[in-house]
Amino acid sequence: AAGVIQSPRHLIKEKRETATLKCYPIPRHDTVYWYQQGPGQDPQFLISFYEKMQSDKGSIPDRFSAQQFSDYHSELNMSSLELGDSALYFCASSLPPVWSGGAYEQFFGPGTRLTVL
């Protein structure tokens, strides 16, 4: 079965550089979520999109922005990178609520490991 695809899988950047992470959801999934997981920490919600509109926002720094495109893939743009941005970034997708009877699970991608030097 198709899964969530994330690219790149690994990314190394210098401080103050920019990075773009991409997420391709499972076909027919129109809801996308981004999570950040620092070393030794639990995943933390950043932002989500439903039908190409931002649906919820968590602890996402102002230096980060994201969007969902017409084909439902999503990109997380990170500028002025800091050492503390080094983390695993997961994307997840899900069906819209009405299709799954109101209770829906999220399917996670393999993550992008970002290292800021």
From the list 88, 76, 99, 111, the residue with the least C-alpha distance to 3 is 111
Amino acid identity, position 6: Q
φ, ψ for residue 3 (rounded to 5)?
Answer: -120, 180
Binding mask 25-64 for another protein (x = CB under 8 A): ------x-x-x------xxxx--x-x----xx-x------
Nearest residue (CB) to another protein, 61 versus 110: 110
Helix (H) / strand (E) containing 53: strand 53-57
**Residue 90 contacts another protein per CB under 8 A:** yes
Of the candidate residues 23, 94, 114, 116, the single one contacting another protein (CB under 8 A): 94
Q: Least distance in Å: CB of 84 to another protein?
A: 19
Contact region for another protein (CB under 8 A) — 20-28, 64-72, 73-81, 107-115?
107-115
Residue 75: left if φ>0, alpha if ψ -120 to 50, beta else—which one?
A: beta
Among 19, 92, 114, 116, binds another protein (CB under 8 A): 92
Q: Which residues contact 47 (CB under 8 A, 6 or more apart)?
A: 33, 34, 54, 56, 57, 58, 60, 64, 66, 76
Please report, as ranges, the residues that interact with another protein according to CB under 8 A. 4, 31, 33, 35, 42-45, 48, 50, 55-56, 58, 88, 90, 92, 94, 97-98, 102-111, 113
